[in-house]
Amino acid sequence: MHHQRFRYYDFLMAGFVAVLLCSNLIGPAKVAEVPLPFAVPGLGMALIFGAGNIFFPISYIFGDVLTEVYGYARARRVIWAGFGAMFFATLMTWVVLKLPASPQEPFNGVLQPALQTVFGNTWRIVIASLIAFWIGDFVNAYVMAKMKLWTSGRHLWTRTIGSTILGQGVDSLIFYPIAFGGIWESSTLFGVLVFNWFFKVMVEVCFTPLTYLAVGFLKRAEDEDHYDRDTDFTPFSLKAD
């Protein structure tokens, strides 16, 4: 069987994986505070959020572009690549942190606690992140592909935003209870869950014009606009067709 070769698919896969690794290695340890020009009910004069939240919406934009242009099956391969990269990075982070620091290197006395603070996530957060990513991204890709059939390829914005609402919703509903259930008060957990879900969806909305530009460029450059009419939507496959 002849398999079409694409010019940009591999670059999109690499970008998707890079964003996921950044979201887990750079963002989680920092809480950002952005001043607001006026008071917002429930927020006050500042927007406070985990820095990692700016990465996950970008990964969903990658997922939307991949599914829209190349189809669910090729997006599925990218999701598995991202999951594998996250798992490997998590495993190797644990190994590096557990390796005994050399007493001959005086800087290790400062470096080891810093590494533990930045990268030493609890097992609950690690498991929650992996499960939430895997399920949320597959929900996003599935909804994106199905809505393309329902809309006959029209109204791209409804698919990008609609799939993100559901995908990020599932992601948040899985991540926060697993990671923080029984640790945070129920009201706090619910409030953070809703705010972060809304924040991520709003990032997707703001990036919609760029998504249109990327999708239009890739469809022309690749001569591809895939419709998943006969696709097997199982997530447990690496087949590209």
Whether 232 maps to a domain, the answer reads no
Domain ranges, residue 213: 9-222
Query: For residue 199, what pLDDT band results from cuts at 50, 70 and 90?
Result: confident
Q: Are 114 and 173 spatial neighbours (Cβ–Cβ below 8 Å)?
A: no
| 30 three-state secondary structure | coil
**Listed residue (35, 18, 36, 40) closest to 27, CA to CA:** 18
Query: What's residue 42's pLDDT?
Result: 67
Chain centroid, CA 108 distance in Å: 33
Query: For residue 1, what pLDDT band results from cuts at 50, 70 and 90?
Result: very low
pLDDT, greater one: 191 or 231: 231
Query: What's residue 127's pLDDT?
Result: 92
Query: What's residue 27's pLDDT?
Result: 65
Whether 237 maps to a domain, the answer reads no
Strand partners, 43: none
Query: What's residue 14's pLDDT?
Result: 97
Whether 97 maps to a domain, the answer reads yes
- Structural domains counted in the chain: 1
Number of other residues whose CB lies within 10 A of the CB of residue 203: 19
Whether 228 maps to a domain, the answer reads no
Query: What's residue 112's pLDDT?
Result: 86
Whether 236 maps to a domain, the answer reads no
- The chain-wide mean pLDDT, for the chain, equals 90
Whether 238 maps to a domain, the answer reads no
pLDDT digits (tens, 9 = 90+) for 9-45: 999 999 999 999 988 777 666 777 888 888 777 667 7
pLDDT digits (tens, 9 = 90+) for 53-94: 788 788 989 999 999 999 999 999 999 999 999 999 999 989
Whether 79 maps to a domain, the answer reads yes
